[in-house]
Each structure stands twice: as C-alpha cells, then as structure tokens.
C-alpha cells in the first residue's frame, strides 16, 4: 500500500464540505479534481474558495500569486468517469447510506485498484457503507469539521474491514495537510459527536430543573468554563433540527442508552418551529446580542471580616488562595477533619462553609454533614482567570451568611452568580459527564485518551480536553460526583464508566502499595 505524496491525485465529491476539503488538499499542493452531481456546483465551489481566499489576500495573509496557484490546482469535473486517475477520493455528498454505497460502488469500477475511498460522513457507519463494496479494505472515514480549511480535526475512522495500513496512510496524509488527526473505530458519533452529547444534555437538564435562566447558564460556560459559546447559543447556531437529529441518531444507534436521552425541552422548540438563528428564534430571539447580562449577578456587598479558615485540601480550587491573600485576606490553614478526603476541603468565612459541589444537592450534603450553613461552589476551568463564580446555598443558609460569601468573592473581583440547588450545579456535572463519556469511548476501544482530548479541542474548540480536566479535578472526585448524581437521580444515565472506576481503584491501590512498602 503506497503512501501518499504531493503527486497523489485527490478527488473530492460534494458541495459545502467538499469545497472546503478541496481547498485543504490544494493548499497542500495536490492536484484536486472536484465533482458534484449538480450542474455547475463544482464551479460554484471553486468560485467560493476564490472569494474566501480573496479576503486573506486583502489582509496580506496570502499573495494573489499564491491564491491563483492554489485555485488552479482544483479542476472542476463534469463526468464522474474523469476521476479514474484519483489515488484518493473523498466523498462529502448527501448523508444517506444507500446513496453513498452506490457512489462508492461506482467509483470502484472507475478508479484503479489501489485507490483509497474516503467518506466525510458525520453519522453513517463506515462498516455499513463498506458492506456493499468489492474492496471494503480500501474504504475509510475521513471526518473533517466545518469549516474544513479552519477546523484542525480529522477523525480517521476505520470500519470493520478497513486495512490498518490504509488508516495509517490517511492519518499521515491528514497530518501533512496541517491537521490534527485521531484514529477512531466506526461507532455511533465517532469521538467528538459522541463525547459532546452531555454538553447539550446536562445544560438542557439543569434548565429544565429550573437551576437558573438560559443566559446565566451560557454565561457560566463562557466565564467559568472558558468555552467560546454557551450550550444554548451553540444549539441556536447549529439549529435545533440538526442538533436534535444528531442526539436522536446517537441515542437510537446505542440501542436507546439513557446516557444519550434526547431532551423534551429541545423537542418543544422543534415542534414550535423555533429552530434557532435560521428561523429567527430558538432559546433566544434573533437578531439580537445573545451575550446578554446574566440576571443572577449579585449587587456589590462589603466584607465585614478579613479572616478565612481553610480546612483540608481544596483540590482544583486551591488556586483561589493566592487571590484571597493578594486582596488582604488572612488565611488560617487547618488540617482536614478525619472524615474528609482530598478535594473535600472547605473554606470557612463568618457563619458560612463553602465546598466544591460533589454532585449532591447542597441541602442533602448539608444534612449529611450536619452543616446547615453550607454553600456549594461550581467548577471553573481556572479559578484565577474566571471572571464569574457560581454558588448554590443549602436551604437553611441565612441571608447574612450568604452575603458574607458573596462579599468574599467580590473582594477578589469575581462576579457572583447564585443559582438554585441542583445536583452537581452546572459546569461540574457537565464536565464530569463529558469526561465519563470520553472514558467510556476509550473503554470500548473506540480510541485512546489522547484522541478524546484532541478531538474535543480541535474539532469543537473546547478549552481543555475532558479527560485532562477530570485528571486536574482528580479522578476519584470525578467518580464521586458521578456516583452522587447516579444516587440522587437513580438514573442509568449517570452510571460511571468502568474505565474511570478501574483507574480510581488503581490509584488507590498504588497508595496502599506505597504505604506498605514504606512500612
């Protein structure tokens, strides 16, 4: 099986995605043949590429000569038989199994025996497409993200019969095209579209349970989580018809696993015809600035004590401490009480006790700990950089104690958002569920851990890979959050991945072994 070189001829079939992929291949100096069944569509695609690149020339990021050379390497083709010289054909046509099977079967007769056939499908099984082919070993998934020239990720998807050398050659080709490639097995949603489901599902769930309003949840994702867009803004942009269809297809493909359960809230929007930006209304009204001020922001309050006590280890939230000190607060550090474990540390200020949310209701944990003045703090990507902090008090917290906590965070220049008591709050439960899905994909041999994090960052612009995030949070704490969510809701949806359980056990065993060997 020959590796690809710049002499390899690349054929692309399709419209929007097709033109983007053609641009990527031409930029990497290949001769590109662009075909679309619709008359004039290939020419239109090339015209769009020229227009897009023209903007780069205006901004001096490309010369007119480079633009002309790149575009001249893309040849519009009007008859599919002219693709006979192609060494690789990438298909980006309509998302229908039978139509793709028919096209590839036709290509097998037109192209030479060693030609590789790739599909850009986002949801169809590569194994199923290959079932109708003479040479399924030469078929592979090459899943680009929209817009293909900008988004870095390419998921290289192997079907059951795909030759390993073909997968390796395509992986190397994608890297040579300046992309970040990941290997994955052909399973529903591949990596990114599978692992991303909780990003939408958990937000829809906390909204449905009345934790807070839409704009506040979006603001928390941006300001605490470091995401470019909140889930509701993103769903409105993608379109609820498309986003809901992806969720339903993953749900059905996994034999209705509750982990992928679609949301009634989103179905309501769909039923009403509120598809998002494209219909002028989704979670927000358009046109408008979606980044509205979150309504739960607290007014400025004065702090009447300068002393805070830190009991135990705050885990990922330890980075708050230098901020407190730099703002003139005195920290009294005391060891954790016996019953406390890592990341179960607390901040005590005035009458209030603050702890990182652990997946329980604040009120439930306050009851368990016999601590009627407990406040939960939500997860942040970076507690130092986050502009906002989200709090959720237990039902018995006094207004005076809550005001003291609000003033504490205002002292370190955080905007404080108070949300209702929901298990795992907003970011904590979402990030733990994202990581859980990532671990489960790895557990089921779809891909490795690095691939999960690369896919989520390069394919969907996540600020941090979910597996790395869970490691920063602590795997045993991540598992605890999931187990608490599972107990609280009693739903299979929150079951922890066996791989996560195994890793936590492994860490605990390492500590036991160390303590035995050191006597």
Token couple for 191:
């990596």
Token couple for 232:
């509701």
Based on the shown chain and the rule CB under 6 A, indicate whether residue 17 belongs to the binding site for ligand NAI.
yes
Interface residue with ligand NAI, options 16, 29, 340, 367 (CB under 6 A):
16
Nearer to ligand NAI, 154 or 391 (CB): 154
Based on the shown chain and the rule CB under 6 A, indicate whether residue 106 belongs to the binding site for ligand NAI.
no
One symbol per residue from 323 to 352: x for binding ligand NAI (CB under 6 A), - otherwise; what is it?
A: ------------------------------
Nearer to ligand NAI, 416 or 460 (CB): 460
The rounded distance, in Å, linking the Cα atoms of 222 and 95 is 32
Could you give the residue ranges of the DSSP H alpha helices within 256-309?
264-272
155 is an active site residue: yes
One symbol per residue from 186 to 225: x for binding ligand NAI (CB under 6 A), - otherwise; what is it?
A: ----------------------------------------
Strands (E), 52-174: 74-77, 88-92, 116-119, 139-144, 153-158
**What is the sign of the dihedral through the CA atoms of 176, 181, 183 and 187?**
negative
The rounded distance, in Å, linking the Cα atoms of 166 and 100 is 19
Residues 123 to 152 in contact with ligand NAI, rule: CB under 6 A: 144-146
Q: Cis omega (within 30 of 0) on the bond before 147?
A: yes
Could you give the residue ranges of the DSSP H alpha helices within 125-230?
126-130, 164-176, 192-195, 197-208, 214-223
In contact, 397 and 373? CB cutoff 8 Å = yes
Catalytic one of 122, 263, 294, 392:
122
In contact, 261 and 235? CB cutoff 8 Å = no
Q: Burial, 369: exposed, middle or buried (Cβ in 10 Å; 0-12, 13-18, 19+)?
A: middle
Choices 66-74, 89-97, 419-427, 465-473; region in contact with ligand NAI by CB under 6 A? 89-97
User: Using CB atoms, what's the residue nearest to ligand NAI?
Assistant: 15
- Cα angle 188, 144, 446 (rounded to 5 degrees) comes to 35
In contact, 330 and 303? CB cutoff 8 Å = no
Q: Shortest approach of ligand NAI to residue 161 CB, angstroms?
A: 20
Nearer to ligand NAI, 99 or 160 (CB): 99
Interface residue with ligand NAI, options 28, 83, 90, 92 (CB under 6 A):
92
Token couple for 405:
């906590």
Based on the shown chain and the rule CB under 6 A, indicate whether residue 78 belongs to the binding site for ligand NAI.
no
Nearer to ligand NAI, 144 or 199 (CB): 144
Nearer to ligand NAI, 92 or 451 (CB): 92
Residues 6+ apart with CB under 8 A from 307: 329, 330, 332, 349
Choices 64-72, 91-99, 125-133, 302-310; region in contact with ligand NAI by CB under 6 A? 91-99
Based on the shown chain and the rule CB under 6 A, indicate whether residue 433 belongs to the binding site for ligand NAI.
no
Q: Burial, 446: exposed, middle or buried (Cβ in 10 Å; 0-12, 13-18, 19+)?
A: buried
Nearer to ligand NAI, 145 or 477 (CB): 145
Q: How far, CA to CA in Å, does 350 sit from each of 214, 301, 390, 402, 405?
A: 32, 14, 19, 10, 8
Interface residue with ligand NAI, options 121, 266, 360, 362 (CB under 6 A):
121
Q: Shortest approach of ligand NAI to residue 154 CB, angstroms?
A: 10
Interface residue with ligand NAI, options 11, 14, 136, 481 (CB under 6 A):
14
Q: Shortest approach of ligand NAI to residue 119 CB, angstroms?
A: 7
One symbol per residue from 31 to 70: x for binding ligand NAI (CB under 6 A), - otherwise; what is it?
A: -----xxx--x-----------------------------
Interface residue with ligand NAI, options 62, 67, 84, 95 (CB under 6 A):
95
Main-chain dihedrals φ then ψ at residue 224, nearest 5 degrees: -95, -35
In contact, 308 and 354? CB cutoff 8 Å = no
Catalytic one of 30, 143, 183, 274:
143
Interface residue with ligand NAI, options 122, 127, 186, 216 (CB under 6 A):
122
Q: Which residues pair with 331 in a beta bridge?
A: 308
Choices 15-23, 354-362, 391-399, 428-436; region in contact with ligand NAI by CB under 6 A? 15-23
Proportion of the chain in helix, strand, coil states, percent, rounded to 5 = 50, 15, 35
Q: Shortest approach of ligand NAI to residue 405 CB, angstroms?
A: 43
- Name the residues annotated as catalytic: 122, 143, 155, 193
Q: Which residues bind ligand NAI (CB under 6 A)?
A: 13-18, 36-38, 41, 92-95, 99, 103, 120-122, 144-146
């Amino acid at each position: 099986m020959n590796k690809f070189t710049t002499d390899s001829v690349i054929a692309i079939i399709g419209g929007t995605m097709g033109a983007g992929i053609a641009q990527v291949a031409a930029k990497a100096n290949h001769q590109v043949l662009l075909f679309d069944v619709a008359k004039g569509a290939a020419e239109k695609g090339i015209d769009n590429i020229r227009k897009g690149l023209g903007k780069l020339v205006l901004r001096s990021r490309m010369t007119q000569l480079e633009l002309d050379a790149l575009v001249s390497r893309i040849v519009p083709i009007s008859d599919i038989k002219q693709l006979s010289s192609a060494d690789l054909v990438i298909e980006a046509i309509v998302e229908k199994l039978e139509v793709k099977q028919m096209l590839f079967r036709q290509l097998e007769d037109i192209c030479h025996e060693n030609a590789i056939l790739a599909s850009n499908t986002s949801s169809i099984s590569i194994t199923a497409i290959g079932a109708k082919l003479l040479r399924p070993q030469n078929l592979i998934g090459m899943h680009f993200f929209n817009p293909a020239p900008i988004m870095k990720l390419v998921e290289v998807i192997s079907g059951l019969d795909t030759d390993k050398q073909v997968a390796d050659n395509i992986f190397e080709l994608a890297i040579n095209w300046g992309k970040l490639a990941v290997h994955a097995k052909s399973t529903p949603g591949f990596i990114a579209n599978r692992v991303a489901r909780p990003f939408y599902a958990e937000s829809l769930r906390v909204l449905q349970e009345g934790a807070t309003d839409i704009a506040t949840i979006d603001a928390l994702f941006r300001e605490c989580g470091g995401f470019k867009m909140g889930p509701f803004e993103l769903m409105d942009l993608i379109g609820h018809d498309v986003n809901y269809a992806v969720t339903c297809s993953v749900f059905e493909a996994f034999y209705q696993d509750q982990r992928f359960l679609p949301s009634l809230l989103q179905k309501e929007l769909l039923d009403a015809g509120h598809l998002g930006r494209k219909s002028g209304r989704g979670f927000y009204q358009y046109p408008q600035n979606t980044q509205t001020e979150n309504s739960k922001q607290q007014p400025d309050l004065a702090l009447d004590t300068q002393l805070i006590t830190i009991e135990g280890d705050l885990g990922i939230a330890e980075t708050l401490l230098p901020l407190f000190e730099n703002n003139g607060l005195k920290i009294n550090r005391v060891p954790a009480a016996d019953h406390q474990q890592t990341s179960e540390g607390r901040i005590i200020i005035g009458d209030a006790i603050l702890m990182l949310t652990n997946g329980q209701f604040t009120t439930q944990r306050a009851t368990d700990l016999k601590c009627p003045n407990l406040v939960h703090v939500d997860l942040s990507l970076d507690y130092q950089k986050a502009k906002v902090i989200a709090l959720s008090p237990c039902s018995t917290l006094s207004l005076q104690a809550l005001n003291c906590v609000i003033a504490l965070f205002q002292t370190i220049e955080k905007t404080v958002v108070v949300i209702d008591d929901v298990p795992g709050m907003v970011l904590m439960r979402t990030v733990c569920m994202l990581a859980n899905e990532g671990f489960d994909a790895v557990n089921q041999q779809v891909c490795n851990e690095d691939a999960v994090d690369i896919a989520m960052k390069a394919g969907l612009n996540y600020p941090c890979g979910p597996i790395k995030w869970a490691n920063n949070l602590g795997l045993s704490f991540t598992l605890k959050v999931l187990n608490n969510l599972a107990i609280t809701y009693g739903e299979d949806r929150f079951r922890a991945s066996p791989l996560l359980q195994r890793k936590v056990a492994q860490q605990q065993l390492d500590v036991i072994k160390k303590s035995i060997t050191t006597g």
